[in-house]
Structure 1
Amino acid sequence: MKRIDERDTMFARMSYKKGSKAYEDYYRRHPNKKEIDDRIREKPHLCSEGTATFDEILSPIADANFAFLGGIRHLAEGPVNPNKVETDAKRITRVLKGLAEHYGACLVGVTKMKEEHYYSHRGRHEENYGDEVKVTHSYGIVFAVEMDKEMINRSPQVAEVIETSKAYVDVGIIGMQLAYYIRQLGYDARNHMDANYLVIAPHVAASAGLGQIGRNTLLITKKYGSRVRLGVVTTELSLDTDEPIDFGLEAFCLACGKCVRTCPGKAISSEDDSKKWYLEQEKCYNMWRSIGTDCGICISACPFSQSIDLKLIDGIKGNADNIQQLLKIHEDKYGIRPYIKEQPKWF
């Protein structure tokens, strides 16, 4: 599997200011992306005046969350205690998983890190643009926090970006606590968090058995669907690993297609071959800049995000009738997708 270059992601590309070294280098190497990127770059930023969902009181809540994450980004790596504590893999894995859950994670798993879990080069920030990402840690602890269903079911209103940004803070803090703890034990560890990932979190999560990658290219978990945000801590500390799972998601996504039908940017692949599923990130992000939030409709539209019956989910693998039963239950309750028009009372 080919490693992904972070410089090619929309988040990185949109950070390149005209005239900067990163801007000049990237579009010299990718002139075909310059026109579309410049066109999107001219639009208002997320949570900004001029977007469809902007609210001068509420939109800055998400901005404040992302500003806070930027303020602690430099703490993702740090000094390691020279006095190493000896421990066995099974016990420390049990402790770390329990600690992640105690700190607020709803799911946690461990995997052996592979090269393709890491970006090939950094691209999000000017100071380390183009730096090669070296694979230095052998193990990854990946954890998820649940996003509030009613907030996500208000997608793409401003409630959605308030909830997603809150969840990024939640996993960022959990990751800091775990990484600091591991370094205190005498082992190197790094927290991968919003705007400071060296890894592709959904791929790490799938390898660790938290869920599978769905048609919408997001991690889909059995209990929470895509209604999670992911954090990863990588470390040299030897851990007990989990295995990937297969609960029949591929066949379900092939039969469902709600994310395709509800995506306002028409960015999600309708291919019948799961190997060809992709997200047209330019179409997706362009819609974000028009709406003013990170949309979230494909998260809300996914039946798994609505906490459907786990017993029924356990019966979908290899059973087309059970898949159709689940889809009918969802359709009868929500139609094409759930949508809460009213704002939360505290708004």
Structure 2
Amino acid sequence: MMSPKLIELQHLKYLDLSLINFNGSQIPDFIGFLSNLRHLDLFVAYFGGRIPTQIGNLTHLQYLNLSYNNFANVENLNSWLPHLSALTYLDLTYNNLSNVPDWMEAVNKLPKLTNLSLSYCSLPSRLIHSSTLFNINSSKSLAHVNLRSNQLSFSSSSSIFVWLSKYNAGLVHLDLSENQIEGGIPQSFSGLCNQQELYLYNNTLSGQFSWLVQILMSACPDQNSLETLSLSKNHLSGSIPNLTNFSSLKELSLDDNQLSGTILESIGHMSTLEAIYLGMNALEGVVSKSHFSNLSRLRSLDMFNTSLSLSFSSNWSHPFQLEYIKLWSCKEGPHFPK
């Protein structure tokens, strides 16, 4: 149990009880009396029961991590979360929020929030009228948003994207993977000029991949900071266009889609690439040393289950040292680099 003696530490600003097994006990109500707390970390502390509304008294709190616990009731989220007006970091990963239809409004009331993680929370995908979201007086500070694996079912016109469009100019990391996003990418994504990591894998995105690239590049073609583009396990079709405008790209994950056509030699000029995943697509044509001419940082290469033909001489001096390579079903030979 958490000792009530903690109340005597009225000047306490930093409290980390992570990785301590509290065996399903409830967070005590007296936590709300530690009014000077700035940092509260209860990651994998195995608390249970309900989250006490008294947490809302911690108005100086900047960091709150309640992830990987066993709370039976988080339905009172809107009764305490909006009071934490100084909060910049919130992690509720692996807590069941299926009975919290107003989670989006609660989060939207945190004016200084920069980091939000609600992955594996069984979030309900209730549609919210856009005027509700835009009329709440909140800042546009969100930079890191993780909503992975919630089975959220929505399309490009849903309230999730309307909500995120408020923050797109400042978003650096966005993870919507392992949900049920249907259709194409909304035009609002064209404002993601500062985006460094975009994870949309394992959804049901459809349409031409080139159109998605055009949206991402349309607002800021010369200053794109994207480092990770993860679109694996979707239904994207068409060919792979010239991606050299993604001048900072380190990881390109397009495997398990419906892409076709050839791979342009221009990919060999993307010198920052460290990982390329193109397997399980209907790609064809010849891949030669020109496709890898400047990829000195490449560590992972996946082109398995495609119809690509590999044409290399046995004495080719490749510019990289691979740690992972997957070429199953490619047409290899008669030569292969030593």
**Which structure carries more strand by proportion?**
2
> In which range does the TM-score fall when normalised by the shorter chain?
under 0.3
Higher relative contact order (CA 8 A, sep 6+): 1
Bigger CA radius of gyration = 2
> What TM-score does the superposition give when structure 1 sets the normalisation length?
0.25
**Which structure carries more helix by proportion?**
1
